Structure 1
């Protein structure tokens, strides 16, 4: 049974993108709207905060103890030691009304990042794969809100367009990583909530945040419901296993799209929650860009 261990009372507008750095026992996450990057040192519980270059949208581990940060203005190499950003590239240069959202490294060291319009739920986004050599490949088009990107053993991945409310399972091609063999993993079209960020555990289960639903839903590997974790905030955005043994779960939440009355009623909306979920996670791959 999951147990709530700790709450960080941050009251973020749009907490997102939790990432565990197993090299230094640190947890990173962002507040997208307030353009803020957070770091929690797991052992000392010390927290550091830095401004983001622009609206945030994705994090990954890099070599040399750095972090890859995806923002509206492109991808950046960030050094926690110096607090400095170095611009790398932008997969959508010349599209200033889009922003980057939902980034993950795959086991081969590629970085995958989605994009979405900032002008409304328009099908103007894409999903990109960026190779270690910096080659940009557009994998999907016509995306409204990219989310729930998880790479699975056996050359598979899950991904959702939150606006469409269906989580898809894809086969990854062996040569260039093309997405094929799409099939439904979970259908949320009858729910009031939408599928948001997700993570896999060491047993192959998928933990998916339900934005507007106040919970993390757990699915077995083929998409069968296997439990849930309830939160005292409806706008649940993402989750990541963390801790030296990867046996904790960090869950980000938001105040985004809550009206004034709902914000008053949800005193813990926008906080970061840390649970003992009764499951363990997997180490995040190192991005080789």
Structure 2
């Protein structure tokens, strides 16, 4: 295992995704999408807590100290942290049993961008949505695997990708609302056999992307140039998140879905969640405004 990478949680997710960090409780949250699990890990304590949600779920955002917004295959749900009670807030593609949620990120203004996709990654079955103060809009349709949703520190740029296409797109954004302005342009294209999965942008505007299929975390400068790569001990890293009170380290989820028995034996850490101990200038995730 690379010297700056360690196992943060040894729970092996079939499809780990959606990591986000709560600085108040020093807790990382993430999901095993296909098994409907929410996972919690306090960075200062041993063990990982698993919570069965009863449906596929992929991302969460902090509303306040008592509540979370959970993105599932049926929509946006408010979860009470203490009781675990889940209440539907906004329905999203709830009548379409063929789709589920995927990647998401909170814009600096408090708006949430998130994606949906076919449960079998059917071509063009997904979309990217914007949600803010109770209003829901579809931004982009015809997307197969929405990923890499992230924002510049000042909120004037949004990023997203269709993993199936192999490009991260960049679009100007209204910093007050998180809505896109103008047409998206190509920010980065895949330079290898790997795919663009989840991303997060640091305080300097560098985009950190999990490269699914090639076992690394890749950093792209604001101009789209590849400037750094961190090798990971798994072939299918899925999404990074800044963690720690100073947001100066990265947690990265991964998955074992699709690996053969032989491949899993050769990759015993597949599905685990990792801590990348780099000196990064990260950003804490803003609360979502519902």
Question: TM-score band (shorter)?
Answer: over 0.9
Q: Distance in 2 between matches of 1:2 and 1:276?
A: 9
In the alignment of these two chains, the number of paired residues is 287
- Higher mean displacement: 111-120 or 256-265: 111-120
Give SS of 1:262's match.
helix
The Cα shift of 1:117 comes to 1.1
Match of 2:189 among 176, 187, 190: 187
Counterpart in the other structure of 2:35: 34
Q: Distance in 2 between matches of 1:245 and 1:284?
A: 12
| TM-score (norm: length of structure 1) | 0.94
The Cα shift of 1:247 comes to 1.4
Question: Are the aligned partners of 2:40 and 2:50 in contact in 1 as well (CA < 8 Å)?
Answer: yes
Call closer, same or farther: CA 1:181–1:252 in 2, change over 3 Å: same
Deviations 1:51-109 (A, max 9, x none): 12311122111124322111112211112211221111112232221111112221222
Counterpart in the other structure of 1:136: 136
Call closer, same or farther: CA 1:265–1:179 in 2, change over 3 Å: farther
Counterpart in the other structure of 1:237: 238
Counterpart in the other structure of 1:225: 226
Q: Distance in 2 between matches of 1:107 and 1:277?
A: 24
Counterpart in the other structure of 1:20: 21
Give SS of 1:261's match.
helix
Structure 1 segments unaligned to the other structure (5+ residues) = none
Counterpart in the other structure of 2:58: 57
Q: Distance in 2 between matches of 1:179 and 1:212?
A: 32
| TM-score (norm: length of structure 2) | 0.93
Call closer, same or farther: CA 1:40–1:120 in 2, change over 3 Å: closer
Matched, 1:109 2:121: no
Deviations 1:180-215 (A, max 9, x none): 242211101x52111000011122111000110100
Q: Distance in 1 between matches of 2:245 and 2:175?
A: 32
Q: Distance in 1 between matches of 2:136 and 2:272?
A: 35
The Cα shift of 1:263 comes to 0.9
C-alpha RMSD of the superposition: 1.8
Counterpart in the other structure of 1:212: 213
Counterpart in the other structure of 2:204: 203
Deviations 1:96-126 (A, max 9, x none): 2111111222122222211111143320211
Q: Distance in 2 between matches of 1:145 and 1:180?
A: 22
